[in-house]
Amino acid sequence: MFEITVNNRIIDAKPEETILSAVKRAGINIPTLCHMDDFLPSGACRICCVEVEGMPGLVPSCSYPVQEGMNIITNSPRVIKARKTVIELLLANHPDDCLYCVRNGNCQLQNLADQYGIRERRFVGKHKTRNTVDCTSPAIVRDQSKCILCGKCVRVCEEIQNVSAIDFVGRGSSTVIAPAFNQGLNISSCIYCGQCIMVCPTGALRENSFTKQVTDALNNPKKIVVVQHAPAISVSIAEEFGIEPGTDVNGKMVTALRRMGFDRVFDTSFSADLTIMEEASELIQRIQSGGKLPLMTSCSPGWIKYVEQFYPGFLENISTCKSPQQMLGAIIKTYFAKKEGIDPENIFSVSVMPCTAKKFEAARPGMGRDQVPDIDATISTRELARMIKTYGIDFGSLPEDKADTPFGIRSSAGKLFGGTGGVMEAAVRTAYHMLTGSELKSLQIEEVRGVKGIKEAKLNINGLELGIAVVNGVGNAQQLLEQIKSGRKDLHFIEVMTCPGGCIAGGGQPRNTDIEKIKVRLKSLYSIDKSEKLRTSHKNKAVQQLYKEFLGEPLSHKSHELLHTNYTKRDVLI
Amino acid sequence: MEEHIYKKIFSKYRGSKRDSLIPLLQEIQHELGFLSKDSVARVGGLLNLPTSKIYGVATFYNQFRFQPYGKYHIQVCRGTACHVKGSANVLSALEAMLNIKAGETTRDGMFSIEVVACIGACGLAPVISINGEFHANLVPSDIEKIIGSYKNRKTLEE
């Protein structure tokens, strides 16, 4: 530690940190656009410039290391003028259609223009009218006219997800961000995780919205509109309504969905329990009959697409189980439709997901029967929040309600699916029961909890040494795949979630890349698990009844028909 | 044929890292005339680089093209003298007439445009070269006639 002077105040700084990080700790704000915590600085946008005594020019604080005795001014007239010019130049090519923009009100560029008092257009760029929207993908829409070339999406795609679907194309003022050969996202190697949307400071990246289809269905008297919400939604949607992050608003959300006119409100955590029954059985079957190991989870559609493109040799390792979204979708249009005497064609099945890739998953071949899709529309947490506001529902004051039976009954194990390690924890609880007939002494498996990228553990179940690994972020998963490729054999079961932190930080969630706030969402899931009585999937009465009445047993013929799927190699430019 | 060319080039670059990217792309373009999706994917496989990255690097430089040359390859001089004499307008007229941008090839494969720096004929500025034939002291309105004459050549040959 040594001392530096900032705005005539003396503050402590650590050797080898940047000016930005030292100054931030002292409670002084410096605006940033291209900066991301825990990434190498790129220094692309120059909005974070500060004045350092003795330096001829302004320096970018995000990438400039502190030195002992430095005298820094973060708000001199020169600095303010430079920042203002940076914003004005960024706006030179901007379409200025804030009123029509999905990020209206939570756009970093808009906020900066406001904070720095930009009241007129000083420059008009030659790309001002450029209108190139890529809406080819089922999940993500890219609008290059709003792009400020900060490069965050490129870095997240490369450094966290190891996909590199997009990069800077061209040079100088004609630079754009695009997939190889300027192709549409739909035929690129993009895995639709949506992490690029989460880091985008403007409206250049957004989800492909399905709110109109949902509203149309709600207004169609012929349709029975059924909705399911994923485990991660109830612990994160609160943030969209200004409620304390991490608050579980499950009851309020159910009320809101009912008031919007959904005929049935189900919980995807129910089918997470169902997934566990199938997946744990599959794991045991593979171990006992010498099947392909390690078994890898299949709940995360971005991960599936990643393996299909980059590691098709591992496709046999992936569980054939559909994701909870698709399992419930299939059950709704078969079992539920039959039981209620509704023609499946008249059911409009909506899923609320923390994910953008789920939109793609719902459109995969094999996710329906007789030309009727299992899921008709997938909306993200953000889209649901927007709809609730459109419907004029005062979320904060809503009473609490319970989801409908039978698919609203869930164990807290199913709820854990919303965060990294949750699928593993739930699966181990049930696999242990299936193998031994008794319950784990401690249901809480500490080794798989937390947001660390790769977590591993060895469990001993009746003499069977079970090697498990939990990874989040595809880049981390790739490391593990490479280890297995080069001969690692001690793992039996691997849980992969595409997004860092799991679904709680999925690409469809309230925009927040602050790891501390994401940890709060995870903590909320843990406290739900701690406080509830029904904590294992196999004890879920509704799941048991479904097997008794309809499916028979896990891995039965009927299960395979409805709850399992297959994967194929994808030919895309990788 | 192509397979043979790739084999020949790649054998020199076995074990290479990303710093060999540009010479490798140059050699491929030299042999095949342009960089196809296939060649970019192959280079990606060899150097363990994503195609988006390779395309990003390749588009940064003017020298790389992603479509084969047309039957008539038009080089438009954008050197200083030609610039002063209005070569930007000549280029726009060409692009508008052929409905392609510099670096592209018309759909029928007849014409391609390339922007080059000074071709050493400053006295003739602004100048373009079509398959080595020079057209000098141009104004944008000349373009229609010139392109027309090459189109006629095409019909005559047929």
Predicted pLDDT at A515:
82
| b (16+ CB within 10 A) / e for A277-315 | bbbbbbbbebbeeeeebbbbbbbbbbbbbbbbbbbeebb
A-B interface: how many C-beta pairs under 8 angstroms? 51
User: Is residue B18 within 8 angstroms of chain A, CB to CB?
Assistant: no
Question: Which of B37, B40, B56 faces A169 most closely, judged by CB atoms?
Answer: B56
- Residue predicted with more confidence, A128 or A474: A474
Cis amide prior to A294 (ω within 30 degrees): yes
B119 in Cβ contact with B79 (< 8 Å): yes
Percent of chain A with pLDDT over 90: 90
Which residues of chain B does A574 touch, with a Cβ-Cβ cutoff of 8 Å? Answer: 41, 44, 50-51
Give yes or no for residue A19 having a pLDDT over 90.
yes
Q: Best of A181, A311, A571, A574 to disrupt the B interface by mutation (most B CBs within 10 Å)?
A: A181
User: Is residue B48 within 8 angstroms of chain A, CB to CB?
Assistant: no
User: Is residue B60 within 8 angstroms of chain A, CB to CB?
Assistant: yes
Residue A231, helix vs strand vs coil: coil
Predicted pLDDT at B155:
64
- How many other CB atoms are found less than 10 A from the CB of residue A365? 8
User: Is residue A158 within 8 angstroms of chain B, CB to CB?
Assistant: yes
Dist. CA B17–CA A253, nearest whole Å: 53
Which residues of chain B does A178 touch, with a Cβ-Cβ cutoff of 8 Å? Answer: 52
Give yes or no for residue A130 having a pLDDT over 80.
no
Contact yes or no for B50 and A189 at CB 8 A: yes
Mean pLDDT for the stretch of residues A508-531: 90
Give yes or no for residue B154 having a pLDDT over 80.
no
Cis amide prior to A245 (ω within 30 degrees): no
Residue in chain B nearest A162 by alpha carbon: B50
Mean pLDDT for the stretch of residues A343-352: 96
Residue in chain A nearest B53 by alpha carbon: A167
**SS3 sequence, A431-472?**
HHHHHHCCCCCCCCCHHHCCCCCEEEEEEEECCEEEEEEEEE
Contact yes or no for A167 and B52 at CB 8 A: yes
User: Is residue A124 within 8 angstroms of chain B, CB to CB?
Assistant: no
Give yes or no for residue A128 having a pLDDT over 70.
no
The β-bridge partners of A141 are A206
Give yes or no for residue A212 having a pLDDT over 80.
yes
Contact yes or no for A181 and B41 at CB 8 A: no
Give yes or no for residue A528 having a pLDDT over 70.
yes
The 10s digit of each residue's pLDDT in B83-120 is 999 999 999 999 999 999 998 999 999 999 999 988 88
- ipTM reported for the complex, 2 dp: 0.89
Task: Kindly give the residue spans of alpha helices, DSSP state H, lying in A66-130.
Answer: 77-92, 108-115
Mean pLDDT for the stretch of residues A483-511: 94
Give yes or no for residue A129 having a pLDDT over 90.
no
Second-level CATH architecture of B72-157 = 3-Layer(aba) Sandwich (3.40)
Give yes or no for residue A516 having a pLDDT over 90.
no
Predicted pLDDT at A517:
84
Predicted pLDDT at B156:
63
Contact yes or no for A574 and B41 at CB 8 A: yes
Q: Rounded mean pLDDT of chain A? A: 94
Which residues of chain B does A180 touch, with a Cβ-Cβ cutoff of 8 Å? Answer: 37, 40, 50-52, 54-55
Predicted pLDDT at A146:
93
Cis amide prior to A95 (ω within 30 degrees): no
* Token pair in block for residue A117: 């008092």
Predicted pLDDT at B94:
95
Contact yes or no for A573 and B60 at CB 8 A: no
Question: Which of B41, B53, B60 faces A164 most closely, judged by CB atoms?
Answer: B53
Contact yes or no for A170 and B37 at CB 8 A: no
User: Is residue A135 within 8 angstroms of chain B, CB to CB?
Assistant: no
Question: Any idea where the domains of chain B sit in the sequence?
Answer: 2-60, 72-157
User: Is residue B43 within 8 angstroms of chain A, CB to CB?
Assistant: no
Predicted pLDDT at A131:
67
Predicted pLDDT at A32:
95
The 10s digit of each residue's pLDDT in A56-110 is 999 999 999 999 999 999 999 999 999 999 999 999 999 988 999 999 999 999 9
User: Is residue A181 within 8 angstroms of chain B, CB to CB?
Assistant: yes
User: Is residue B52 within 8 angstroms of chain A, CB to CB?
Assistant: yes
The β-bridge partners of B72 are B111
Residue B78, helix vs strand vs coil: coil
- In one-letter notation, the amino acid at residue A112 is L
- How many other CB atoms are found less than 10 A from the CB of residue A436? 12
* Token pair in block for residue B145: 């006639």
Predicted pLDDT at A260:
96
Predicted pLDDT at B39:
94
User: Is residue B36 within 8 angstroms of chain A, CB to CB?
Assistant: no
Contact yes or no for B41 and A573 at CB 8 A: yes
Q: How far is B35 from chain A (nearest CA, A)?
A: 10
Question: Which of A166, A180, A189 faces B40 most closely, judged by CB atoms?
Answer: A180
Predicted pLDDT at B152:
85
Mean pLDDT for the stretch of residues B134-140: 93
Predicted pLDDT at B14:
86
Percent of chain A with pLDDT over 70: 99
Question: Which of B51, B59, B61 faces A573 most closely, judged by CB atoms?
Answer: B51
Predicted pLDDT at A167:
96
User: Is residue A172 within 8 angstroms of chain B, CB to CB?
Assistant: no
**SS3 sequence, A362-420?**
HCCCCCEECCEECCCEEEEHHHHHHHHHHCCCCHHHCCCCCCCCCCCCCCHHHHHHHCC
Question: Nearest-CA neighbor of A296 among A481, A431, A453?
Answer: A481
User: Is residue A180 within 8 angstroms of chain B, CB to CB?
Assistant: yes
Dist. CA A57–CA A375, nearest whole Å: 57
A330 in Cβ contact with A226 (< 8 Å): no
Phi first, then psi, for residue A254 (nearest 5°) are -60, -45
A229 in Cβ contact with A387 (< 8 Å): no
Predicted pLDDT at A531:
93
Give yes or no for residue A518 having a pLDDT over 80.
yes
The β-bridge partners of A13 are A2
* Token pair in block for residue A317: 């390792």
Contact yes or no for B50 and A180 at CB 8 A: yes
Predicted pLDDT at A206:
95
Dist. CA A38–CA A368, nearest whole Å: 42
Mean pLDDT for the stretch of residues A354-377: 94
* Token pair in block for residue B26: 């140059």
Which residues of chain A does B37 touch, with a Cβ-Cβ cutoff of 8 Å? Answer: 180-181, 573
Query: Angle A108-115/A77-92 helices, nearest 10 degrees?
Result: 140
Domains along the sequence of chain A with CATH: 2-75 (3.10.20.740), 121-207 (3.30.70.20), 212-563 (3.40.50.1780)
Predicted pLDDT at B55:
96
Contact yes or no for B55 and A169 at CB 8 A: yes
- Residue predicted with more confidence, B37 or A513: B37
Q: Is A352 left (phi over 0), alpha (psi -120 to 50) or beta?
A: beta
Residue in chain A nearest B67 by alpha carbon: A181
CB half-sphere exposure, B150, CA atoms < 13 A: 18
Among the four given CATH numbers 1.25.40, 1.10.1200, 1.20.58, 1.10.10, the one describing domain B2-60: 1.10.10
